Structure 1
């Protein structure tokens, strides 16, 4: 029996079925892609509100009017040049052994020190742990205000976990809506970016130890409930809760954070502070 050519209504009906099938297949494919992404972080970070999986460096987020939010490579917020640093880690953590005496008041806050699995430091985990501990035991740190005692404990059940994270993990957890490497606090964890730990920040120049002291005190300050601060006295030391990783200049900080406000409105008032690592810089003197 000879086949019969379909009429126009049959052709349209067949085309419609194909279209429906194609849409359904595409939807399933997109769903599969989404399920393979890292989970969204729902916590509000004291440094950056983590809204989604961060952008990649070659695809910076867009600011007002669809313009890229990134500044020029000359911005003080960009990572300085320097040695290689751990880019990838495993997303799991191991504790750095050590416990310390208390400093400060009778209100004890315990913390442990951890390093991401797969992150290897040239001078070893213990050196990182000792540095963080020495910062938080210093009378110029948060214990110097007499309101809190910080005590290092093993990593079983501390109040706070201070973690060194690879660049990729830090970007995933801290967000990358401003396309600059940062450290952050999320709930009861502080994540120190290995990129910043190794390279520091342009605002601190070549003084890497002072930057490391700053980043520990700044992020622990967020855990203790302190928000961001601004340069209030031109020529004076920057508050430790100022975002000195980006800049110690209010004008530049206002420009950098315009696309993604960071808790506090920054006035472009021309004030410039000097880098400062400590919440109580004059304590113990």
Structure 2
């Protein structure tokens, strides 16, 4: 009887140890399986989060530091509304007005989103020409429109907006001396780039201009448009967003054509297009155009 009892106890201890070993083996298999599945899940999530995003379409791309072929008769730099060393008189010196990539093209006709990418790729896509001919009469200035990759902004609507500005009778073509023709290859004396705030700061900063992630600039033959301003406008400009975009282009191209800064001519009067309106209207009414519909130049006192 004593022997049988001892045998039962030994068998019980053996079964207990076997159960413990089996439990340990199951835990080991779970750990190994988890180690295999978790990286796979991470890879899948990575593919979903970091997959390819659209950035606009165009005929070609160029690096942000590239220069357009010389050809502009006014090659000086200007960066509007930024703190910079500025010359006096027309065309002199320099003047100056988180990466939530949605991957969706932006419809320029819609109310702008306040979520604007701060960072971009640093490379640009050139817009295909919207028209085959030129806007205006007189000396034809060939220009390109480029959009930075990573902005979510399609090139064609941006180029169409710029083309409409040049064609508007209140714009720089009013005098009949200057015409503008969009190209996507060959020589261009004027390049209009729309870029994220960080890229604007880098491009403008290379010319000694402090755009602070907020404003636009012109460096030589290149007008650099801040995506934030293009998409959200300015708190100082109470007109439609399309009008503020026209002010950006008219102001910077005005510098390229040789015009200097002007200020408010008097309370209640239209602010000149060459006024730094983002700094305040000084009693004037916001205005995007250098000329009236009747062809009168909207000027104000010249300022440095």
Tell me, yes or no, whether TM beats 0.5: yes
TM-score by length of 1: 0.61
- State the SS of the aligned residue for 2:173: helix
Distance apart, 1:86 and its partner CA = 2.1
Task: State the match for 1:278 in structure 2.
Answer: 289
Partner of 2:183: 153
* Among 190, 200, 207, the residue aligned to 1:170: 200
Listed one character per residue, the Cα deviations across residues 190-209 of structure 1 (whole Å, up to 9, x for unaligned) are 01100101110012236211
Cα distance in 2 for partners of 1:156, 1:92 equals: 19
Cα distance in 1, alignment partners of residues 277 and 238 from structure 2: 12
CA offsets, 1:82-104, max 9 Å, x none?
Answer: 52112111222110111532233
Contact 1:238–1:276 (CA under 8 A) maintained in structure 2: yes
Q: Secondary structure at the match of 1:108?
A: strand
2:147 matches 1:115? yes
Question: Secondary structure of the residue that 1:140 maps to in structure 2?
Answer: coil
Q: Which runs of 5+ in 1 are unaligned?
A: 1-38, 52-80, 250-271
| Aligned: 1:196 with 2:226 | no
Secondary structure of residue in 2 paired with 1:115: strand
Seen in structure 2, the aligned counterparts of structure 1 residues 214 and 274 have a Cα distance that, compared at 3 Å, is same
Deviation sequence 1:126-177 (CA, Å, 0-9, x none): 1111111111111111001222111112243211011101110112223464
- Equivalent of 2:253 in 213, 217, 220: 220
Any conservation in 2 of the 1:92–1:117 contact (CA below 8 Å)? yes
Q: CA 1:180 to 1:231, structure 2 compared with 1: closer, same or farther past 3 Å?
A: farther
Q: How many corresponding residue pairs?
A: 192
Q: Would the aligned equivalents of 1:114 and 1:155 in 2 still touch at CA under 8 Å?
A: no
Quote the Cα distance in structure 2 between the aligned partners of 1:116 and 1:179: 18
Query: How far does residue 238 in structure 1 lie from its aligned partner after superposition?
Result: 0.4
Residues 44 and 50 of structure 1 are in contact (CA less than 8 Å); yes or no, is this contact kept in structure 2? no
Q: Distance in 1 between matches of 2:148 and 2:135?
A: 27
TM-score (norm 2): 0.58
Which 4+ residue blocks in structure 1 deviate beyond 3 angstroms?
48-51, 175-180
**Structure 2 unaligned runs (5+)?**
1-64, 66-75, 86-111, 297-304
**Structure 2 residue corresponding to 1:136, chosen from 166, 169, 176:** 166
Larger radius of gyration: 2
| Change in 2 beyond 3 A, CA 1:216/1:191 | same
Shift of 1:120: 1.2
Cα distance change, pair 106–158 in 1 and its aligned pair in 2 (3 A): same
Q: Relative to structure 1, is the Cα distance of residues 145 and 238 closer, same or farther in structure 2, using a 3 angstrom cutoff?
A: same
Residue 93 (str. 1) matches residue 124 (str. 2): yes
**TM-superposed deviation, 1:246:** 2.2
In structure 2, the residue matched to 1:248 is 281
The yes-or-no answer on 1:233 pairing with 2:275 is no
Superposition RMSD in Å: 2.6
Q: What SS does the aligned partner of 1:143 have? A: coil
Instruction: Report the Cα distance in structure 1 between the residues aligned to 2:185 and 2:284, rounded to whole angstroms.
Output: 37
In 1, the alpha carbon distance for the partners of 2:191 and 2:167 equals 16
Question: What is the alpha-carbon distance in structure 1 between the residues aligned to residue 259 and residue 279 of structure 2?
Answer: 18
CA contact (8 A) 2:217 2:224 kept: yes
